[in-house]
Amino acid sequence: MANPSPNHPDLDESINVPEVHAALRDDSIAAGREKSIRENGMEPVGLIMLIPCALILLLGGSVLGKGGNLFGYNELFKEGYMRAPAPGGEEIVLPPGPALSLFSKEGAKVYGKCIGCHGSDGAGGNGIPPLAGSEWVTGNTDQLSQIIIHGLKGPVSVAGVDYNNNMPAMGEGLGPKELAFIMTYIRNEWGNEASLVTPEMGAAALEIAKLRGSDQVDVVELKNNHDKMLPGEPLSPESLVDPETLEPVEQPAAE
């Protein structure tokens, strides 16, 4: 019989390997059934503690949920509350301003629709006529409004130069105010000088536009039907208008 190898005790023939393994397996199963012992302070909580705690939490939750005024928003919110003005500061009311500059400011925004063709300097180019120095722009507002709303086709002479091109209808999305402001803007920009167009006149332009089809206007039609000013009370460039609504104000706010 050879000496058992210290590294391989199972080679010792006196050991019954299946027996030893079986014993090991039984042990591990038994160990698994055993409740493991927790460290001090980590023992599981007994039901006798758990149930009262759960009840307290439930009760607390219902108190918070519908519990009258304990945490009620209505306690903090005072009916008719108004924030007091900051010390030394009254509410800021923008003063009325002159109609021309306020209308033009709005009109400049609408001009974004035209700028691609007529240019930021209103000089046109590439077969597109200028708005600067154009008698169509500073002339009769009925004509001008219908060019903008319906577009323009065919031969047209602008500041002594002949054009024969095509402008698409630009009326889409333009209400009475936008029309008034874009016309006021181009009539008074780049050295142009002409009367203001009011939202009332803009509304009249839309009414006139409705009476014809939606195809582009041409010079003949403009001369025949639209060679006049839009109806409406004129507004002087310096008249004061409200900076928010752009409606005329009665009195200069003297305070």
Q: Which is nearer to ligand HEC, 96 or 208 (CB)?
A: 208
Q: Indicate the residue among 160 and 252 with the shorter CB distance to ligand HEC.
A: 160
Minimum distance, C-beta of residue 77 to ligand HEC, in the bound complex (Å): 50
CA–CA gap between residue 255 and residue 243 (Å, rounded): 17
C-beta separation of 158 from 130 below 8 A: yes
The contacts of residue 181 (CB under 8 Å, 6+ apart) are 103, 104, 106, 107, 109, 110, 197, 246
Cα separations (Å) of 181 from 102, 134, 187, 201, 246?
Answer: 9, 18, 10, 11, 10
Q: In whole angstroms, how close is the CB of 142 to ligand HEC at the nearest point?
A: 12
Whether residue 108 contacts residue 122, with contact meaning beta carbons closer than 8 Å, is answered with no
From the CB of 221, what's the least distance to ligand HEC, in Å? Answer: 12
Whose Cβ is closer to ligand HEC: residue 59's or residue 220's? 220
Residues that bind ligand HEC (CB under 6 A): 113-114, 116-118, 128-131, 134, 136-137, 144, 147-148, 152-154, 156, 158, 163-168, 170, 182, 186
> Taking the C-alpha atoms of 44, 48, 53 and 54 in order, what is their torsion angle to the nearest 10 degrees?
90
Shortest distance in whole angstroms from residue 164 CB to ligand HEC? 5
- Produce one character per residue of 25-47: b if its CB has 16 or more CB atoms within 10 Å, e if not: eeeeeeeeeeeeeeeeeeeeeee
Tell me the closest approach of the beta carbon of residue 138 to ligand HEC, in angstroms: 9
Q: Are 11 and 4 in contact (CB under 8 A)?
A: yes
**Closest CB to ligand HEC among 96 and 178?**
178
